[in-house]
Chains A and B, each alone.
Chain A
Amino acid sequence: MRMQRLLGIFSSPKWIQAGFIAAVFVAWHVLTLSGRISSLFLPSPGAVYAALTQIVASGAVVQAIGTTLRTVLIAYVGAAVLGTTAGFAITRSQYLCRLLEPLLSGLFAIPLTLFFPLFLLFFGIGPGSKIAYGMTYAFFPIALNTISGVIHVDGKLIAAARSMGAPPHLLFRRVLLPGALPVILTGLRIGFFICFATVLGGETLSSISGLGHEVANSAQLMDSSRMFAWILVVIATSFCLVMLAGRLERLRGDLRGGESR
């Protein structure tokens, strides 16, 4: 009876997931112990841990995370401001919408990574090129979602507000913005993670600082335990960001629930 309950607890998804991650680590350990795989390809967990403590102690981790997050933040804020502004500006006229929306989504379908060499050419190897690259990439989902959010605001609401004599700025604040907000927020969220991945990508391809640079640099030096340590740092950072985004979204949901009550 007790045994069965224990089994029940341990077969819940959370435990199986934890078990899966533990199994990966055990398999990793056993694989490196067996000596079948060169430590160049797969360093032992101990070596990676040693490298990790070393980069944390030297302050390199804090510095790299700081550089990357600063770059992401600047690029993201720029993209959010430009994207929502452009989105709202385009939706002011139906003609502009039909003219530019397909153009924007067509451009977004082309992998903009292609243009990374150009960003390097224009903005150099420092953070400038990553800011511009991340901003360009994040601009599209934000602008496109803003457009689709505003377009899909219930036309009856707009007509009602207009017929009651709402001036444009009130129409925007009381009808268009709240109506389009959920879709815009989705765009902002997608944009953030695209921005993060893009900045990391730029840093990996060609850079002098930041998380992506550290991974690529350790790889070039064939220092694989250090590279794995940096990869773990990146994974931890992105998990934290994902959880933060989830938290913010739930917070907004709670606030909205409070409002409607």
Chain B
Amino acid sequence: MSVLTGKRSWLRTALASPAIGRLGVIAAGLLIWEGLARTVLDPEFVSPPTRILQALVTRTLADPTVLRAIGTTFWELLLAFALAVLAGTAVGVLVGAGERISRTAYPLVLMLYAVPQVTVLPLFVMFFGLGPASKVAFGFTHGIFPIMVNVIAGMRDVSPLFLRSARSMGASRMQVLRHVVLPHLVPSFFAGMRLSVAMTLLGVILAELYASIDGVGYFAHLYSESFDPAPLYALIVVLALMAVLLNELARRAELRFTWRRR
């Protein structure tokens, strides 16, 4: 009897912890998916998770052309993101530094930010071709906005009190920028960077899906048009892992550089 209650309380504590409960939810979801996919659902559209795993190992990871495509997409992503961070910070600091220029340019930036960029995607392909260049460019224009907007906003809301006291203590413009404005910028910069990771991914993947000759988008089209869902899901799993990895990196960087403020 006591063994039984002991068992039950163990189960209860396990379920009471949200992290384990979450794993349970995921596992239950996968099980239901597996069951439905094996019985009711059309195999031309849905693959059970086990078959996706099999496709991931035997087809996606074993096929050098697919591997190369995944590698290409990864590099496109990293390059676009690095460029977006550099250019976004530079433009943001320049625009945010002056009162007049920020009042003039900030609404313009926000206005441009509001336009869904997908509409100019065909233009990017026309300018930069079907290769990786158009993906990097499109990822870049997606990724630069959150950083720019957050950097400008961060620079604008430095308390005037700090600026005045720094100036009254004889700090030069550069010193004010270095010791007052930039430290103040850190949290909003990292918030912008995390958004930027997601947006860069979105840009690169949109461009890949729109037109691609050697990237992931090509294979995604190939699989979905030939009603071959297992490798398509496997590809999505790989890309999702890439997204999670980049997101986690940005989150770690954020924690690392902002911990002192907590």
B123 touches A111 (CB 8 A): no
Provide the A212-246 mask, 1 if CB < 8 A to any CB of B, else 0: 10011011100010010011001100110010000
Q: Provide the bound-state CA to CA distance between A95 and B16, in Å.
A: 8
- Tell me which residues across on chain A come within 8 A of B122, comparing CB atoms: 204, 215-216, 218-220, 227
Decide: A117 near B221, CB < 8 A? Known: A17-B108, A95-B16, A197-B116.
Answer: yes
A235 touches B119 (CB 8 A): yes
A234 touches B116 (CB 8 A): yes
- Tell me which residues across on chain B come within 8 A of A51, comparing CB atoms: none
A13 touches B205 (CB 8 A): no
- Tell me which residues across on chain A come within 8 A of B127, comparing CB atoms: 41
A200 touches B116 (CB 8 A): yes
Task: Say if the beta carbon of B69 comes within 8 Å of chain A.
Answer: no
Which positions 60-80 of chain B face chain A at CB distance < 8 Å? none
Which positions 106-121 of chain A face chain B at CB distance < 8 Å? 106, 109-111, 113-118, 120-121
Provide the B219-238 mask, 1 if CB < 8 A to any CB of A, else 0: 01101100101001100100
Decide: A13 near B103, CB < 8 A? Known: A110-B240, A204-B121, A212-B118.
Answer: yes
A142 nearest CB across to chain B (Å): 17
Cβ-defined partner of B236 (8 Å) among A100, A115, A216, A238: A115
Count of A-B contacts with CB under 8 A? 124
Tally of contact residues, B, Cβ under 8 A: 47
Question: Number of contact residues on A: which range applies?
Answer: 35 or more
Task: Say if the beta carbon of B6 comes within 8 Å of chain A.
Answer: no
Decide: A118 near B209, CB < 8 A? Known: A235-B119, A238-B115.
Answer: no
B116 touches A196 (CB 8 A): yes
Decide: A204 near B118, CB < 8 A? Known: A118-B232, A219-B123, A239-B111.
Answer: yes
Task: Say if the beta carbon of B243 comes within 8 Å of chain A.
Answer: yes
Task: Say if the beta carbon of A27 comes within 8 Å of chain B.
Answer: no
Closest to B21 in A: A99
Q: Provide the bound-state CA to CA distance between A13 and B106, in Å.
A: 10
Cβ-defined partner of B229 (8 Å) among A121, A230, A239: A121
Which positions 99-125 of chain B face chain A at CB distance < 8 Å? 100, 103-104, 107-108, 111, 114-123, 125
Task: Say if the beta carbon of A157 comes within 8 Å of chain B.
Answer: no
Task: Say if the beta carbon of B25 comes within 8 Å of chain A.
Answer: yes
Task: Say if the beta carbon of B22 comes within 8 Å of chain A.
Answer: yes
Cβ-defined partner of B123 (8 Å) among A16, A113, A231: A231
A67 nearest CB across to chain B (Å): 15
Q: Provide the bound-state CA to CA distance between A84 and B175, in Å.
A: 48
Task: Say if the beta carbon of B244 comes within 8 Å of chain A.
Answer: yes
A110 touches B244 (CB 8 A): yes
B78 nearest CB across to chain A (Å): 15
Task: Say if the beta carbon of B210 comes within 8 Å of chain A.
Answer: yes
A113 touches B126 (CB 8 A): no
Task: Say if the beta carbon of B201 comes within 8 Å of chain A.
Answer: yes
B126 touches A41 (CB 8 A): yes
B22 touches A109 (CB 8 A): no
Closest to B121 in A: A204
B210 touches A205 (CB 8 A): yes
- Tell me which residues across on chain B come within 8 A of A40, comparing CB atoms: 126
- Tell me which residues across on chain A come within 8 A of B26, comparing CB atoms: 103
Cβ-defined partner of B45 (8 Å) among A41, A122, A235: A122
Closest to B18 in A: A98
Closest to B110 in A: A242
Closest to B201 in A: A111
Task: Say if the beta carbon of A52 comes within 8 Å of chain B.
Answer: no
Decide: A109 near B45, CB < 8 A? Known: A231-B119, A234-B116.
Answer: no
Q: Provide the bound-state CA to CA distance between A111 and B241, in Å.
A: 11
A117 touches B22 (CB 8 A): no
Decide: A197 near B118, CB < 8 A? Known: A98-B18, A109-B243, A111-B198.
Answer: yes
B221 touches A95 (CB 8 A): no
Task: Give the interface of A toward B (CB within 8 A).
Answer: 11, 13, 16-17, 20, 40-41, 95, 98-100, 102-103, 106, 109-111, 113-118, 120-122, 193, 196-197, 200-201, 204-205, 211-212, 215-216, 218-220, 224, 227, 230-231, 234-235, 238-239, 242
**4 interchain residue pairs of minimum CB distance:** A219-B122, A197-B116, A98-B18, A117-B224
Given contacts A121-B229, A197-B116, A234-B115, 10 further A-B contacts (CB under 8 A): A111-B205, A113-B206, A114-B205, A117-B223, A118-B236, A211-B119, A212-B118, A212-B119, A215-B122, A216-B121
A-B contact pairs, 20 of them (CB 8 A): A11-B100, A20-B104, A100-B25, A103-B25, A109-B244, A111-B202, A111-B205, A117-B223, A117-B224, A200-B119, A205-B209, A215-B122, A216-B121, A220-B122, A227-B123, A231-B119, A231-B120, A239-B111, A239-B114, A239-B115
